[in-house]
Amino acid sequence: MSDGGESARMNEPVILEGEISRMPAWGPIRVLLTVTGLLLIRSVFVFIARYFLALRGRATARVEGTTITLTAEWSIFGRRIRRARTTAQIHRVDAVRFENRRRYLHLLVGFGALVVGTLVGMQWFLDGLRAGYPYLVLVGAGIVAAGVITDLCLFLLVPKGQGRTHLVLSLGPWVTRLVGVDTGRAQQFLHRVESGWRE
Protein backbone atom coordinates (compact mmCIF):
# COMPACT_ATOMS: atom_id res chain seq x y z
CA MET A 1 0.00 0.00 0.00
CA SER A 2 2.85 2.37 0.77
CA ASP A 3 4.35 1.85 -2.68
CA GLY A 4 0.99 2.52 -4.29
CA GLY A 5 0.50 5.67 -2.23
CA GLU A 6 3.98 6.90 -3.08
CA SER A 7 3.37 6.22 -6.77
CA ALA A 8 0.08 8.11 -6.65
CA ARG A 9 1.77 11.09 -5.04
CA MET A 10 4.46 10.99 -7.69
CA ASN A 11 1.82 11.19 -10.43
CA GLU A 12 0.12 14.23 -8.86
CA PRO A 13 1.18 17.45 -10.58
CA VAL A 14 3.20 20.05 -8.69
CA ILE A 15 2.74 23.54 -10.14
CA LEU A 16 5.02 26.43 -9.31
CA GLU A 17 4.46 30.03 -10.43
CA GLY A 18 6.76 33.01 -10.25
CA GLU A 19 8.10 36.07 -11.97
CA ILE A 20 10.97 35.66 -14.42
CA SER A 21 14.10 37.44 -13.26
CA ARG A 22 17.54 38.00 -14.73
CA MET A 23 20.27 35.77 -13.35
CA PRO A 24 22.67 37.72 -11.11
CA ALA A 25 26.06 38.47 -12.56
CA TRP A 26 29.24 36.79 -11.39
CA GLY A 27 30.50 38.21 -8.06
CA PRO A 28 33.54 40.14 -9.34
CA ILE A 29 31.45 41.53 -12.21
CA ARG A 30 28.87 42.82 -9.69
CA VAL A 31 31.61 44.54 -7.69
CA LEU A 32 32.97 46.15 -10.87
CA LEU A 33 29.49 47.31 -11.89
CA THR A 34 28.94 48.77 -8.43
CA VAL A 35 32.23 50.65 -8.26
CA THR A 36 31.89 52.10 -11.77
CA GLY A 37 28.25 53.11 -11.23
CA LEU A 38 27.01 50.96 -14.13
CA LEU A 39 24.84 48.96 -11.75
CA LEU A 40 22.90 52.11 -10.87
CA ILE A 41 22.41 52.96 -14.56
CA ARG A 42 21.19 49.42 -15.30
CA SER A 43 18.83 49.59 -12.32
CA VAL A 44 17.34 52.83 -13.68
CA PHE A 45 16.64 51.17 -17.05
CA VAL A 46 15.10 48.15 -15.30
CA PHE A 47 12.94 50.48 -13.22
CA ILE A 48 11.72 52.32 -16.33
CA ALA A 49 10.93 49.08 -18.15
CA ARG A 50 9.13 47.62 -15.14
CA TYR A 51 7.06 50.55 -13.94
CA PHE A 52 6.64 52.80 -16.99
CA LEU A 53 6.37 50.14 -19.72
CA ALA A 54 4.82 47.53 -17.37
CA LEU A 55 7.20 44.92 -18.73
CA ARG A 56 6.46 41.63 -17.00
CA GLY A 57 7.64 38.08 -17.37
CA ARG A 58 5.75 35.25 -15.66
CA ALA A 59 6.53 31.55 -15.74
CA THR A 60 4.83 28.37 -14.60
CA ALA A 61 6.82 25.23 -13.91
CA ARG A 62 4.82 22.00 -13.78
CA VAL A 63 6.14 18.57 -12.96
CA GLU A 64 3.84 15.59 -13.43
CA GLY A 65 5.03 12.02 -13.46
CA THR A 66 8.38 12.03 -15.22
CA THR A 67 7.62 15.11 -17.33
CA ILE A 68 8.44 18.72 -16.57
CA THR A 69 6.84 21.64 -18.43
CA LEU A 70 7.94 25.25 -18.29
CA THR A 71 5.65 27.94 -19.70
CA ALA A 72 6.92 31.54 -19.90
CA GLU A 73 4.96 34.65 -20.92
CA TRP A 74 6.14 38.24 -21.45
CA SER A 75 3.84 41.24 -21.58
CA ILE A 76 3.99 45.02 -22.04
CA PHE A 77 1.14 47.21 -20.77
CA GLY A 78 -0.75 44.00 -19.99
CA ARG A 79 -0.60 42.73 -23.59
CA ARG A 80 1.16 39.44 -24.14
CA ILE A 81 4.04 39.80 -26.57
CA ARG A 82 5.73 36.44 -26.23
CA ARG A 83 4.89 32.94 -25.00
CA ALA A 84 7.18 29.94 -24.88
CA ARG A 85 6.58 26.40 -23.67
CA THR A 86 9.27 23.81 -23.00
CA THR A 87 8.53 20.17 -22.17
CA ALA A 88 11.13 17.56 -21.28
CA GLN A 89 11.71 14.48 -19.21
CA ILE A 90 12.95 15.07 -15.67
CA HIS A 91 16.25 13.37 -16.39
CA ARG A 92 16.90 16.11 -18.98
CA VAL A 93 16.94 18.74 -16.24
CA ASP A 94 20.55 19.64 -15.49
CA ALA A 95 19.99 21.33 -12.13
CA VAL A 96 17.36 22.85 -9.86
CA ARG A 97 18.23 25.27 -7.07
CA PHE A 98 16.04 26.88 -4.43
CA GLU A 99 17.39 29.94 -2.64
CA ASN A 100 16.28 32.73 -0.34
CA ARG A 101 17.94 36.04 -1.17
CA ARG A 102 18.02 38.99 1.21
CA ARG A 103 17.74 42.49 -0.17
CA TYR A 104 21.10 44.17 -0.52
CA LEU A 105 20.39 47.44 -2.36
CA HIS A 106 21.04 49.42 0.83
CA LEU A 107 24.42 47.71 1.13
CA LEU A 108 25.31 48.73 -2.42
CA VAL A 109 24.24 52.33 -1.77
CA GLY A 110 26.26 52.39 1.44
CA PHE A 111 29.32 50.95 -0.27
CA GLY A 112 28.96 53.50 -3.07
CA ALA A 113 28.73 56.34 -0.53
CA LEU A 114 31.85 55.02 1.18
CA VAL A 115 33.82 54.84 -2.08
CA VAL A 116 32.70 58.26 -3.35
CA GLY A 117 33.21 59.89 0.05
CA THR A 118 36.69 58.44 0.38
CA LEU A 119 37.81 59.42 -3.13
CA VAL A 120 36.37 62.94 -3.12
CA GLY A 121 37.17 63.62 0.51
CA MET A 122 40.78 62.50 0.24
CA GLN A 123 41.24 64.63 -2.88
CA TRP A 124 40.00 67.73 -1.07
CA PHE A 125 41.94 66.80 2.05
CA LEU A 126 45.23 66.49 0.16
CA ASP A 127 44.57 69.64 -1.85
CA GLY A 128 43.98 71.53 1.39
CA LEU A 129 47.22 70.25 2.88
CA ARG A 130 49.24 71.19 -0.20
CA ALA A 131 47.67 74.65 -0.49
CA GLY A 132 47.70 75.36 3.23
CA TYR A 133 43.91 75.81 3.53
CA PRO A 134 42.76 74.28 6.83
CA TYR A 135 39.07 74.70 5.96
CA LEU A 136 39.51 72.66 2.79
CA VAL A 137 41.23 69.98 4.87
CA LEU A 138 38.26 69.94 7.26
CA VAL A 139 35.78 69.73 4.38
CA GLY A 140 37.67 66.79 2.91
CA ALA A 141 37.76 65.01 6.24
CA GLY A 142 34.05 65.72 6.68
CA ILE A 143 33.23 64.18 3.29
CA VAL A 144 35.19 61.04 4.18
CA ALA A 145 33.42 60.85 7.54
CA ALA A 146 30.02 61.35 5.88
CA GLY A 147 30.68 58.45 3.51
CA VAL A 148 31.72 56.17 6.37
CA ILE A 149 28.74 57.17 8.55
CA THR A 150 26.29 56.66 5.67
CA ASP A 151 27.69 53.18 5.02
CA LEU A 152 27.52 52.21 8.70
CA CYS A 153 24.00 53.59 9.17
CA LEU A 154 22.63 51.72 6.16
CA PHE A 155 24.38 48.51 7.26
CA LEU A 156 23.29 48.66 10.92
CA LEU A 157 19.89 50.38 10.86
CA VAL A 158 18.11 49.07 7.75
CA PRO A 159 16.18 45.89 8.69
CA LYS A 160 17.06 42.70 6.86
CA GLY A 161 13.51 41.82 5.85
CA GLN A 162 12.21 38.38 4.93
CA GLY A 163 13.92 38.22 1.57
CA ARG A 164 12.52 36.67 -1.59
CA THR A 165 12.43 33.03 -2.57
CA HIS A 166 13.95 32.08 -5.92
CA LEU A 167 13.97 28.89 -7.95
CA VAL A 168 16.60 28.43 -10.65
CA LEU A 169 15.81 25.78 -13.25
CA SER A 170 18.43 24.67 -15.76
CA LEU A 171 16.69 22.84 -18.58
CA GLY A 172 18.96 22.12 -21.51
CA PRO A 173 20.42 25.35 -22.93
CA TRP A 174 17.93 27.52 -21.00
CA VAL A 175 18.33 28.76 -17.45
CA THR A 176 15.16 30.24 -15.92
CA ARG A 177 14.99 32.04 -12.59
CA LEU A 178 11.60 32.34 -10.89
CA VAL A 179 11.18 34.98 -8.18
CA GLY A 180 8.58 35.04 -5.43
CA VAL A 181 7.68 31.35 -5.54
CA ASP A 182 5.83 29.65 -2.70
CA THR A 183 8.31 28.04 -0.32
CA GLY A 184 6.27 24.91 0.36
CA ARG A 185 5.53 24.22 -3.29
CA ALA A 186 9.15 24.89 -4.18
CA GLN A 187 10.25 22.24 -1.69
CA GLN A 188 7.73 19.79 -3.19
CA PHE A 189 9.00 20.65 -6.66
CA LEU A 190 12.60 19.95 -5.65
CA HIS A 191 11.62 16.68 -3.99
CA ARG A 192 9.70 15.56 -7.07
CA VAL A 193 12.59 16.34 -9.42
CA GLU A 194 15.02 14.60 -7.08
CA SER A 195 12.78 11.54 -6.98
CA GLY A 196 12.59 11.56 -10.78
CA TRP A 197 16.40 11.61 -10.99
CA ARG A 198 16.64 8.62 -8.64
CA GLU A 199 14.18 6.65 -10.74
156 phi, psi to nearest 5 deg: -90, -30
Is residue 68 classed as helix, strand or coil in its secondary structure? strand
Residue 97 to residue 186: CA distance in whole angstroms:
10
| All structural domains of the chain with their residue ranges | 2-102+166-198, 104-159
pLDDT in tens, 121-177: 888 888 888 888 888 888 888 888 888 888 778 777 766 655 678 888 887 777 888
CB 176 within 8 A of CB 57: no
- With the C-alpha atoms ordered 141, 143, 146, 152, is the resulting torsion angle positive or negative? negative
Does pLDDT of 10 surpass 70? no
The verdict on domain 2-102+166-198 having CATH code 2.30.29.30 is yes
CB 83 within 8 A of CB 72: yes
Residue 161: the pLDDT is 57
pLDDT in tens, 33-44: 666 777 677 777
pLDDT band at 1 (very low <50, low <70, confident <90, very high): very low
pLDDT in tens, 136-149: 888 888 888 888 88
Does pLDDT of 79 surpass 80? yes
Is residue 86 classed as helix, strand or coil in its secondary structure? strand
